[in-house]
Chain A
Amino acid sequence: MAKPTSIFIVDDDPVQLQMLTDHLSSMSNFSIKTFATGEDALKQISDMPNIVFLDYYLNSIDKDAQDGLDILQEIKKTSPATEVIMLSGQDKIDVAVEVMKYGAFDYIVKGESAFYRAEKAVYNLYRLAKLKQNAGMYKSLSIAFGVAFVVMIAIVIYLVMAGKISNNPGWV
């Protein structure tokens, strides 16, 4: 995941939606889009947001709206690199386990501490992205060093075999 700059928030609770948007906006200059239903968010998933905050129950206004678990699976299918953080008003371990099983990065219970936890989740994703970036850089450096070493050995062998340099160090 690249630096998390693009965020979708999907929630049918307008107060939660607004408060989370304001809180994340105060953290950094994120590009934030908000949606009341998962279906609306999926219409714009081609934007490939870095993070989606997704409410577990999305049918309090539109009773036919798909729930968060269905939308999570759709997002993971369409935009696998997008990290999904599930929001829910229910503090149930089985729900948390279920959403993690379907690929959610974190599960946050709505309430006063939810905003701090959302901030931590974004920070953790940012740190993870940095670690992945560094790991990629070290891997590339290791490959480059390995190739350079093999080329150097090949040149030395060639020069020894061609008699351009002696394999006698000179003090023997």
Chain B
Amino acid sequence: MQLTDLTFLNSFAKGDKEKIAKYIKMFLDAAPGIIINMETHLANNDLKQLRTAAHSLKPQAGYMGFKQGESLLKTIEQCADTGTDVDKIPSHIETFKTMFEQAKTELTTAL
């Protein structure tokens, strides 16, 4: 199943392939660092920073049409913010990492 959908990005960039590629590259450059930050903050039990990291990646995922990833980041953000289901955060991050690898492959193909 395809995880990304470039409909919005195509419409936003009015079909400008260079612009679309620029946004995709920026996302692919930024996301791995933010995922590492999320893992580090989780390991340090710093839920505030974990929430901020998930929050910052959420809109970018949305613009790439990576809706499942965006939704999972929202869940991580809410768990970290409210302190509920904190025990589920590690598995959410693992799921996100797996989904991101597929999204990355799809987006790289679109470049």
User: CB within 8 Å of B: which residues of A?
Assistant: 12-16, 18-19, 22-23, 57, 59-60, 63, 89-90, 110-112, 114-115
Contact = CB atoms under 8 A, between A and B. Distances in A.
B27 A59 contact: no
Given A19-B23, A59-B52, 19 more contacts: A13-B60, A14-B29, A15-B27, A15-B30, A15-B63, A18-B22, A19-B12, A22-B13, A57-B52, A57-B55, A59-B49, A60-B37, A60-B52, A89-B55, A110-B59, A110-B62, A112-B12, A112-B63, A114-B59
Interface string B26-66: 11011000100100000000000100110110111011000
A60 B34 contact: yes
B17 interface: no
B12 A115 contact: yes
10 contacts: A12-B56, A14-B30, A15-B23, A15-B63, A18-B22, A19-B63, A60-B34, A60-B53, A63-B49, A63-B52
A130 B13 CA distance: 30
Nearest to A116: B12
Contacts of A89: 55-56, 58-59
B52 A13 contact: no
Contacts of A59: 49, 52
A-B interface, 9 closest residue pairs, ranked by CB to CB distance from nearest:
A60-B56, A110-B59, A15-B60, A15-B26, A60-B52, A112-B8, A89-B55, A14-B26, A89-B59
A16 B59 contact: yes
B88 interface: no
Contacts of A12: 56
B63 to A, nearest CB: 6
A112 to B, nearest CB: 5
Contacts of B26: 14-15, 18
Contact of A13 (B12, B29, B37, B56): B56
A85 B52 CA distance: 20
Contacts of B62: 110-112
Contacts of B29: 14
